[in-house]
C-alpha cells in the first residue's frame, strides 16, 4: 500500500510548533530547514518544552484511552493507528518463547532455583513427578564448569532426585493448576505458566515457553492499566498479540521475545488481572495483518497529539534515514475535532525540562564524544517529521559542529541531566511550549 498523503492540518500544527520555537517551516532534511538555528542562551537560560512519552510510532496508549472514552471501538482505534491493516487470526495456542533470565552465574552456594507451585511438575528425561513446593537447584560441578549438579528436594528437605546434567532441560507443569516459580529471578514477578526451558553453559539462561494468548495474560495489564476502558484494552491486546506473533522465530534462536521494554513487558502470573484475562479471551487469536503479513504493531505511551512516520524515528545515530516507510506506520494527528489531543489527560501529555544555561548544556553534551562541540553557541532544532518530532539535531560550538539523531540528543541530555531535574521524554520538543 502506498504511503498516505499528509493531511493538511498536520502541516498547520507543525507550522505553529516551529513558529513558537523561533524556526522556519521547511521540508524535513531540506537545506533551508537545516540552516535554521536556535541561539542557545537567548534568553540566558534554555528550557525545552515537549509533548508525549515514547518513540511516537504506531498506537499511542493514552491516545487509545482517550479515543475509547470518546466512544470509539477497538476496531476504530486500531484503524486509526495502523491505517490500512485488516483484522486476521492466529491460533491462540501458538507457542512463544520468552527470555526471563540470562547470564545467571550460579555457584554451589547460590544455585539456580526453581519451585513447583500449586501442583505437581516434571523434568524431561527424569522418570519422576515432583510434588508441589518441591525445589529444583542447579549448581556447576566446579567453578566455570559446563556440567551441573541437579537436585530436587521436597518441602520438608528430603532429597527426591540428584544427577549431573548439561546442555538444556525442560521443567514442565504436570497439571492445569501447576505453576513454576523461577526463584533466581531478581524480581517479584517470577512465577510462570507453561514450561521453563533451562539452558546451561557456564551460566544459566531460562526461557518460558507457553501459548501466545496465555503469554498475553502477563503482558496486557503490564502495558496498559486494567482499569482503563475495555475498548482501549481490546486494542492493546490485538496490538500486543500482533507484535509478539510478528517476532516468532522458532528455527533462528532459543527465544522469541524479551520480557522487558526491548520487546514488550511480560510479568507472568503475578502480572495477570481478571479484567484483562477476559479481554484476551474476547479477542482470542485476533491480530493485525498488512496484506498476508502480520503487522509490526508498534505502540508507545503518549503521542503528544500526533504520531510519527516510522522512518523518521528509527534513524541512525547521525539522524540519517535508514528505514523504509511502512504503509501502516504513518504519522497523523491524534486530536479531537476541537483540537484537544486524545491523550490530554496523560501525565506526560506536556512537560518541560529545568532551565539550563549555555555552560550547563555545554557540559552535558561535552560528556559524550558524539555530541561534544565545546562551548555550545547554537542548536539547530529544525529537522522534524510530520508530528514535529526531531529527526536530528545539529550542535554548533567552539570545537566544531556535529549532527546527531533526535533520540541520541535526548539520551545524552538525560544521561547528563541532574537526577532531580525532569528529562526529555520524547523527541517532540522545542524551546517554547508546543500547542
Strand segments, DSSP code E, in 245-367 are 257-258, 286-290, 293-294, 299-300, 350-352, 356-357
* φ, ψ (nearest 5 deg) of residue 298: -65, 150
Is-contact 115 132, C-beta < 8 A? no
Dump pLDDT digits (tens) for 348-375.
999 999 999 999 999 999 999 999 999 9
The DSSP symbol for 217 reads: H
- Tell me: pLDDT of 319 over 90: yes
What is this structure's pTM? 0.89
Dump pLDDT digits (tens) for 257-273.
999 999 999 999 999 99
Q: Work out the angle between the directed axes of helices 61-69 and 230-246 (0-180°, nearest 10).
A: 150
Helices (H), 163-254: 212-217, 220-223, 230-246
Rounded distance, CA 21 to CA 19, Å?
Answer: 5
Strand segments, DSSP code E, in 34-141 are 38-39, 45-46, 49-51, 59-60, 86-89, 95-104, 112-117, 121-123, 129-130, 135-140
Is-contact 133 88, C-beta < 8 A? no
316: its cell numbers: 541512525
- Tell me: pLDDT of 43 over 80: no
- Tell me: pLDDT of 1 over 50: no
Rounded mean pLDDT of the chain? Answer: 91
Residue 411 pLDDT: 98
- Tell me: pLDDT of 327 over 60: yes
Residue 37 pLDDT: 56
Closest by Cα among 186, 280, 182, 304 to 224: 280
Amino acid at each position: 500500500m502506498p504511503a498516505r498523503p499528509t493531511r493538511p492540518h498536520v502541516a498547520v500544527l507543525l507550522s505553529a510548533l516551529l513558529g513558537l520555537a523561533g524556526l522556519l517551516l521547511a521540508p524535513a532534511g531540506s537545506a533551508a530547514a537545516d540552516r535554521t538555528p536556535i541561539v542557545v542562551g537567548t534568553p540566558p537560560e534554555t528550557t525545552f518544552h515537549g509533548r508525549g512519552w515514547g518513540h511516537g510510532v504506531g498506537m499511542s496508549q493514552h491516545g487509545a484511552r482517550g479515543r475509547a472514552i470518546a466512544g470509539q471501538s477497538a476496531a476504530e482505534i486500531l484503524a486509526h493507528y495502523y491505517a490500512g491493516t485488516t483484522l486476521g487470526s492466529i491460533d491462540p495456542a501458538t507457542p512463544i518463547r520468552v527470555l526471563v533470565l540470562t547470564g545467571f552465574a550460579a555457584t554451589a552456594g547460590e544455585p539456580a532455583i526453581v519451585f513447583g507451585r500449586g501442583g505437581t511438575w516434571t523434568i524431561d528425561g527424569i522418570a519422576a513427578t515432583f510434588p508441589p513446593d518441591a525445589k529444583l537447584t542447579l549448581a556447576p560441578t566446579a567453578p566455570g564448569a559446563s556440567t551441573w549438579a541437579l537436585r530436587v528436594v521436597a518441602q520438608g528437605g528430603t532429597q527426591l532426585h540428584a544427577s549431573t546434567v548439561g546442555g538444556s532441560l525442560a521443567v514442565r507443569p504436570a497439571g492445569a493448576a501447576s505453576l513454576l516459580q523461577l526463584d533466581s529471578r531478581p524480581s517479584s514477578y517470577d512465577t510462570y505458566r507453561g514450561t521453563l526451558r533451562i539452558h546451561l553453559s557456564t551460566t544459566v539462561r531460562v526461557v518460558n515457553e507457553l501459548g501466545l494468548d496465555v503469554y498475553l495474560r502477563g503482558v496486557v495489564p503490564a502495558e496498559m492499566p486494567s482499569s482503563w476502558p475495555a475498548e482501549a484494552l481490546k486494542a492493546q491486546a490485538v496490538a500486543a498479540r500482533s507484535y509478539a506473533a510478528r517476532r516468532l522465530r522458532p528455527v533462528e534462536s532459543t527465544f522469541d521475545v524479551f520480557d522487558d521494554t526491548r520487546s514488550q513487558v511480560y510479568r507472568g502470573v503475578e502480572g495477570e488481572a481478571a479484567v484483562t484475562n477476559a479481554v484476551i479471551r474476547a479477542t482470542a487469536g485476533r491480530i493485525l495483518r498488512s496484506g498476508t503479513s502480520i503487522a509490526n504493531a508498534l505502540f508507545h505511551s503518549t503521542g503528544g497529539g500526533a504520531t510519527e512516520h516510522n522512518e523518521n524515528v528509527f534513524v541512525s545515530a547521525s539522524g540519517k534515514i535508514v528505514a523504509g516507510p511502512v504503509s501502516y506506520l504513518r504519522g497523523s494527528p491524534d486530536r479531537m475535532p476541537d483540537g484537544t489531543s486524545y491523550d490530554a489527560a496523560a501525565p506526560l501529555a506536556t512537560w518541560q525540562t529545568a532551565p539550563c544555561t549555555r555552560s550547563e548544556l555545554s557540559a552535558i553534551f561535552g560528556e559524550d564524544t558524539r555530541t561534544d562541540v565545546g562551548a555550545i553557541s547554537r542548536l539547530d532544532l529544525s529537522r522534524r517529521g510530520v508530528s514535529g518530532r526531531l529527526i536530528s539535531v545539529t550542535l554548533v560550538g567552539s570545537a566544531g559542529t556535529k549532527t546527531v539523531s533526535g533520540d541520541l540528543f535526548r539520551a545524552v541530555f538525560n544521561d547528563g541531566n541532574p537526577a532531580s531535574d525532569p528529562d526529555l521524554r520524547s523527541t517532540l520538543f522545542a524551546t517554547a511550549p508546543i500547542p
